[in-house]
Amino acid sequence: MTDFYAKILEPPRVLAAVTSDLDRWASLDLSRLEIAFRAQSLFITTEAVATWLGPLELVVEYEPATLHDLDPPITAKLRESDPEGLLLRPRHFRKARCALQQLGPYGSNLFWRNLLYELALLPTSETTTSKDEAALSTVLGRLVHTRKGWAEETLVPHLSSPGCNITPKLAKVLEVLSIYEEYGSNFRGIIVVKDSVVAQCLGELLQKPQTGLTFIRATEVRPNAVSDSSYQKQLYEAFSKGENNLLIITRSSQDLELPPVSTVISFDLFEDHLSYAYNHAHSKGRNSHQIYLVEKGNNEQRRILSHVQTMDAELRTWIAGFTQGTSQGFPPKSFHTSMDPCLSDSDEESTKEEFILDPTTSARLYRCDAEAALYRFIADFEAQSTWAQGPASISVEQHPPEGIPESYRCTIALPKGTGVPDVVGPYCPTKAQARRETFYLASQVCVLMGLMDYRHFPQPEWRPTDLSSAADEKDSQKEVKTATASSSTHGYPRKSPDFWANSSQYQVTVLYPTVVVPDPLAGETHAPVVLLTRAPLPGIPDFPVFYSGAWANVRFYKGLPFEVTSAQLQALRGYTVRATRSLTNKPFDCAPEDLLCFFAPLRTSWQPLPGTQGARWSQAPVGEHIPWDAVQLAADYFAVPLYSNLTALEDNARDAVVQDRNVEFTMRHFLVKVRHDMTPLSKAEDSPREAGFANFIEYCKARRKDFAGIEDEKQPMVEVTAIPGVINNLHPMSAPPTPPARVPLKYLIPELTYKFTIPARYPRMPPGSQPHSTFRTLWLLPSIMTKLDSHLLVKELSAQLFRLQIAEPHLLVALSTRAAWTDANYERLEFLGDAFLKVLASNLAYAVDPAAGEGALHRARQDVIGNKALHGGATRVGVPPYVQHKRFVAKLWQPPHLPNAADDDDADGDGDGDGDGPGQGKAKGKARRTKKQRQLDAQNTLWMGDKVVADVVEAILAAAFLSGGHDAALQAARRLEVPLPNVAQWTDFARIGGQQAAQEHAPSVPPLPPSTVEAVQLIVGSVFGKPELLAQALTHGSVFGGAEGASYERLEFIGDAILDFLVARHIFERHVHLSPGGLTLLKGAMVSNRALAAFCVQTGLHAHLRLASEQLRAAIDRYVRTLDELRRKEYDAAAHEKRLPGQYWLDMPMEPPKCLSDVVESVVGALYVSDGFFEVGVGRFFETVFKPFMDAHVRLQTLSTNPKVTLLELLQAEGCQQHGVVKKPQERQNGPVEIEEGHGADRRGVVHVHGKVIASATDSSATIATRKVSLTALDALANDPELLARICDCGSGEARKQAPKAEGMTQEEAEAAEVEGVMDAVDDEE
């Protein structure tokens, strides 16, 4: 059949019926048959299973709409009538556009007529909050005048008419409904739409006589009609009697109780099994129809329909029970619910219904969404938790209390492992309302207990910026600044997590604990500290912090929420403020109602539950372990005397952070130990500060102001060490700040010393236990909170834009640039994503235009993968503000809090009164921003080049691929608006290619002899499904002598892309620690023309290449002979030296004929296209033939015949600016040759970093020693993932920052200076 159809231009029309068991539906893929036979497959549900009582499902196609004007004249006129938006809000224009796109110009005009009529009737106070009544009256007058002058439009429903004013989709609905006229009074139907504005207009439109549907009595059902029992009763009775025989409903009313209907028409498709089940519940079973409207050629709708109709036996059984009302269990694991909310965005803006707010993503959960959300939560809980302890269930009882007729009550029993008791809803007049109320109540309980989170909430359509009006578009453009020096560099507003702003809506009477437990860092242990938030924090994964070359994981444990009294709240506020002021050494104050996160210590009695680390569901009590007396002490006092007659010095010193003066903002010290061998009368032998004095008392007399002596001159001294200022602990190169220029103190007199009220260690440790430092944990808190904010932003973007399809750890790395100065950045992912994007674009270009030559294909691909396209798509969807591009500056940190008057005073304080508008520069008489304003502006604006944004897009694609494979990455590309028209799933490439090829006359290619086909298939280890493609892959353009013919160029184009990706994926997975520069060098070596030509000769593919040029044939023969000789020599040398062979083809004195590398890529392309653009055959070829050859010859050490050259290329690829291979002076014969990695302009490019030499070698020959040391260094860089990150900071700008750093400047001062420098540069540009 395939051969027959391939040979004829006009195949006969055939209708074929195929039966299949329902259990096999999930595995059926008829896309290849559709391509081969130029056919279309449709599934029709048969009634083979007794429990499957669904309606007959039919698919009806309609032609795509051609709306050239999305802003019709009436819309433009109304916008002019109300330019300020006093009455016509952005949501009105969105609704009008929705009606236009779904119903046509008549539907849009109908919406505007109804809206203007409503506005004219409403009182002024209800239409606007503006105080300018005159302006409002003027606008209303203009709108009324516009309405009066608006001629009545006639409905023209016939598509063939020139004046047709409806869409083909609506015309198809009218056509379908006309079929049911023969049902007469027995007809009952439902049309399910997505948007209520469509329902409203459609209900009115269907009553027009021009439709010809005189038997239709349609009405639109109010959104959330289930919640209004009286309205629902009236609707039920009217529908039963036939007063209305067609209901137009939205998803928010799909759970209505209605009489069975003849047909359910899905005007819009929902990728949701719950909606599917409700449609079946409304039908008459086998005697009714479920009709899906699908746009012709719309592959996205085809994908949705296929997904919804694919279900296993367990899910079919559940749906059957659901439709009959016999199912009490929750759906099985294969059940899928869409994350789209039941209410559209415009409906949500106008509703006043109560909702539950998700603090992480700002999503809203209404009653109509609660059932699907709870299903998602239970499925997630049962999949993630090992202690579910019993299934969830739903039961409805009809047991009315006295005096209440026909009332229902629903009970939901959640798995015992959730800790949630059975949820019993209120009595309601209908089962539907009882279910809805109980699902909402159960969701509310789970959210307040911190169990349900952003993963389970519906997420509205991603719309970062409202562009519904011209004014909105101008405002959005103002948010993005363009650098003066370069038009390809833009400043984006930095996104802050929604979590903290949403937390302010929660009451402060209940707090949600998250315990922070750092592992030991740099030899010091850390006590747990609890973060108390006003809203439940979502689960935060472990992440590392760094200090002085060491690192430690920070772990998070969720705790049970608990109530706090007003006194406890004041104590927590005081403790948090005290900790913040001590860490930043700057004033900070905040009222308890304005603080969004409180800090508190924990007693040693708190221990995490066994096996709960990182578990999202386990919550242990925390509130009872807070030492409230210690919290209150820190809230009341910043310091107390260390030396007291009431407390032994040893007891006081055990946990002390001390200071030498009784002021709050000063330097503090850890108390190391009590020195009983020293007194204030002792001579300071090892303390430079007091070395010039006879004893400590003499020093105090000379240097301490108003020193009046001490009471006890025999008291022991205390030895201390300075506490460093807070730093950025998020990068492996995080180091202690530069110590101050003045001589540090080492000893203190206890009587003159004060003890800070936040201890270094908890005072009452169990006997024999290792002390844990509370203050050291607080010292890490600025970095921890900054990283926590990054995780919150990633959760926002993951849920809202990518619908949780990308693993959050991968997404965080993809969004982190090197400038962010964290432990990981996007560069490795960008390497993989670039190769994947090349495959996507190549697939599309190849499939869309089967007649395009290689040049046209390259241009088409570039339109997809170019930085301009990637940057434009990412900017439109609002990705740049989420990019982690700012280095954390510890000095500017403050805990999450609401802005207050003190903040405003600081911002307006110490400047000289100049303005802050962009472009104002430093002209005389114009305001200059204060230092704090400039610092905050620098932190809140992300200046990035367009290429950085494009690289982030590629990294996100790689993150999606690693999370869910090809289809997940494809969906991510679509959400990032990568231009892939009409590609909804991977099989669409083959489908589009087949459709386009059927319309084009492809050039012919001579067939291959069967022996050649068998030989090549033996080489590649796979069978070609389309031998004609193999013939094309082996045919050189010279065969046609200038005439038209199918050479290998097109297949070489797509083969180049897929081979590039396979190699990139291979080395990415194999070299998990290799830097991006090394990955690029390795990939370049494996896919170079020289390497591919050598592989072609090695496998014998060159012998099957068809060409007609004798000159080219002779060049190939010369190359093969020379290459064989080089190969023999290299293998002999490798055997003699007991090493693996290298890239012997690099010693070739001539360039290889390009056709040799081209034919490898074209054969790969032919195999790939033959398999429907899947990697089945080509993957087998890569694993068994290509990869073994390349791995045997291509390694970092063999990238060049000179390892020193390879090493220098690798370091340059990593952005390292100062490196070299240096021969040290030989003090003896055979002295070592060492390579040293160094930085600092004053060190002539070669210095030790932390005294570390990364490689050394010794040999009598300097040349051999250099080769050895280079190979050793390459091994070190390949095997140590953090080596280069620890010793090279060229890419982060750290070296440039430190170069001009003044002597004696502390680290935090340098960080602040960096911010100031950025703002100075911005001011200069302005």
| Average pLDDT for 728-750 | 82
Binned at pLDDT 50, 70 and 90, residue 389 comes out as low
Across 505-514, 710-719, 896-905, least confident range? 896-905
| Average pLDDT for 911-938 | 51
Which residue, among 409, 398, 371, 375, has the nearest Cα to 255 in the 3D structure?
Answer: 371
DSSP code of residue 804: T
Which residue, among 415, 423, 424, 358, has the nearest Cα to 381 in the 3D structure?
Answer: 415
- Report helix, strand or coil for 434: helix
Cα dihedral sign, 76-80-86-90: positive
Q: What is the pLDDT of residue 809?
A: 95
653 neighbors 642 (Cβ within 8 angstroms): yes
Cα dihedral sign, 1306-1312-1315-1321: negative
Task: Tally Cβ neighbours within 10 Å of residue 919.
Answer: 8
Q: Which helix (H) or strand (E) holds 1048?
A: none
Q: Is the pLDDT of residue 147 over 80?
A: no
The C-alpha angle 486, 490, 492, rounded to 5 degrees, equals: 165
Which residue, among 379, 377, 402, 394, has the nearest Cα to 432 in the 3D structure?
Answer: 394
Q: Is the pLDDT of residue 517 over 90?
A: yes
C-alpha 962/C-alpha 428 separation (Å) is 48
Beta-bridge mates of residue 493: 941
Each residue's pLDDT tens digit, 295-311: 988 888 988 998 888 88
Binned at pLDDT 50, 70 and 90, residue 767 comes out as very low
C-alpha 828/C-alpha 1077 separation (Å) is 9
Q: What is the pLDDT of residue 1252?
A: 61
| Average pLDDT for 533-539 | 94
Across 61-65, 100-104, 1248-1252, least confident range? 1248-1252
Task: Tally Cβ neighbours within 10 Å of residue 1324.
Answer: 11
What does the block give as tokens for 1262? 């300097």
Q: What is the pLDDT of residue 913?
A: 37
Binned at pLDDT 50, 70 and 90, residue 1200 comes out as low
Across 12-16, 77-81, 1038-1042, least confident range? 12-16
Binned at pLDDT 50, 70 and 90, residue 926 comes out as very low
Q: What is the pLDDT of residue 1295?
A: 44
User: The sheet that has 941-945: what strands, in order across it?
Assistant: 481-482, 489-493, 941-945
Q: Which residue has the higher pLDDT, 1168 or 480?
A: 1168
Q: What is the pLDDT of residue 38?
A: 56
List all residues 6 or more positions away from 66 whose beta carbon is below 8 Å from its beta carbon.
none
| Average pLDDT for 90-119 | 89
Q: What is the pLDDT of residue 685?
A: 85
Cα dihedral sign, 770-774-780-786: positive
Q: Is the pLDDT of residue 704 over 70?
A: yes
The C-alpha angle 620, 622, 624, rounded to 5 degrees, equals: 125
Across 263-267, 525-529, 760-764, 1153-1157, least confident range? 760-764
375 neighbors 439 (Cβ within 8 angstroms): no
509 neighbors 127 (Cβ within 8 angstroms): no
| Average pLDDT for 333-345 | 87
Q: What is the pLDDT of residue 792?
A: 97
Q: Which residue has the tokens 């006009």?
A: 10
C-alpha 1317/C-alpha 1315 separation (Å) is 5
Q: Which residue has the tokens 């979590």?
A: 499
| Average pLDDT for 347-366 | 87
DSSP code of residue 54: P
Binned at pLDDT 50, 70 and 90, residue 1135 comes out as very high
C-alpha 330/C-alpha 332 separation (Å) is 7
Q: Which helix (H) or strand (E) holds 364?
A: strand 364-365
Instruction: Report the share of the chain in percent with pLDDT over 70.
Output: 78
Q: What is the pLDDT of residue 230?
A: 87
Q: What is the pLDDT of residue 19?
A: 64
- Report helix, strand or coil for 98: helix
| Average pLDDT for 436-458 | 93
Across 21-35, 1165-1179, 1269-1283, least confident range? 21-35
Which residue, among 527, 621, 631, 511, has the nearest Cα to 570 in the 3D structure?
Answer: 631
Which residue, among 273, 234, 232, has the nearest Cα to 253 in the 3D structure?
Answer: 232
Of the ranges 146-150, 167-171, 912-916, which is most confident? 167-171
Q: Which helix (H) or strand (E) holds 31?
A: helix 31-37
Q: What is the CA radius of gyration of the chain?
A: 37
Binned at pLDDT 50, 70 and 90, residue 1261 comes out as low
Q: What is the pLDDT of residue 357?
A: 94
945 neighbors 486 (Cβ within 8 angstroms): yes
Binned at pLDDT 50, 70 and 90, residue 830 comes out as very high
657 neighbors 668 (Cβ within 8 angstroms): yes
Q: What is the pLDDT of residue 1?
A: 53
Q: What is the pLDDT of residue 806?
A: 96
What does the block give as tokens for 283? 């039908």
Binned at pLDDT 50, 70 and 90, residue 1033 comes out as very high
- Report helix, strand or coil for 533: strand
Q: Which residue has the higher pLDDT, 1283 or 131?
A: 1283
Which residue, among 1105, 1081, 1082, has the nearest Cα to 1093 in the 3D structure?
Answer: 1105
Q: What is the pLDDT of residue 6?
A: 47
Q: Which residue has the higher pLDDT, 70 or 465?
A: 70
Instruction: Work out the mean pLDDT of the chain and round it to a whole number.
Output: 82
Binned at pLDDT 50, 70 and 90, residue 462 comes out as confident
C-alpha 43/C-alpha 305 separation (Å) is 10
DSSP sequence for 1126-1192: HHHHHHHHHHHHTS----GGGG-SSPPPHHHHHHHHHHHHHHHHHTTS-SHHHHHHIIIIIHHHHHH
Q: What is the pLDDT of residue 222?
A: 87
591 neighbors 553 (Cβ within 8 angstroms): no
| Average pLDDT for 1046-1058 | 93
User: The sheet that has 1221-1223: what strands, in order across it?
Assistant: 1221-1223, 1232-1235, 1255-1258
Q: What is the pLDDT of residue 1099?
A: 95
Each residue's pLDDT tens digit, 859-868: 999 999 999 9
250 neighbors 194 (Cβ within 8 angstroms): yes
Q: Is the pLDDT of residue 72 over 90?
A: no
Each residue's pLDDT tens digit, 545-563: 999 888 999 999 999 999 9
Q: Is the pLDDT of residue 1298 over 50?
A: no
Each residue's pLDDT tens digit, 35-57: 555 566 665 544 434 445 679 99
C-alpha 285/C-alpha 57 separation (Å) is 11
Q: Is the pLDDT of residue 335 over 50?
A: yes
Binned at pLDDT 50, 70 and 90, residue 907 comes out as very low
Q: Which residue has the higher pLDDT, 114 or 738?
A: 114
Instruction: Report the share of the chain in percent with pLDDT over 90.
Output: 49
Each residue's pLDDT tens digit, 666-684: 889 999 889 999 999 999 8
C-alpha 104/C-alpha 111 separation (Å) is 11
Q: What is the pLDDT of residue 866?
A: 94
Distance, C-alpha 930 to centroid of its chain: 35
C-alpha 785/C-alpha 400 separation (Å) is 52
What does the block give as tokens for 522? 């740099």
Task: Tally Cβ neighbours within 10 Å of residue 1230.
Answer: 10
Q: What is the pLDDT of residue 1320?
A: 44
| Average pLDDT for 1084-1095 | 95
| Average pLDDT for 353-359 | 93
Binned at pLDDT 50, 70 and 90, residue 1249 comes out as very low
Q: What is the pLDDT of residue 1242?
A: 31
Q: What is the pLDDT of residue 910?
A: 41
C-alpha 1021/C-alpha 1183 separation (Å) is 10
359 neighbors 536 (Cβ within 8 angstroms): yes
Task: Tally Cβ neighbours within 10 Å of residue 1118.
Answer: 11
C-alpha 995/C-alpha 489 separation (Å) is 42
Give the type of residue at 430: T
Q: Is the pLDDT of residue 691 over 90?
A: no
| Average pLDDT for 612-639 | 82
| Average pLDDT for 966-993 | 92
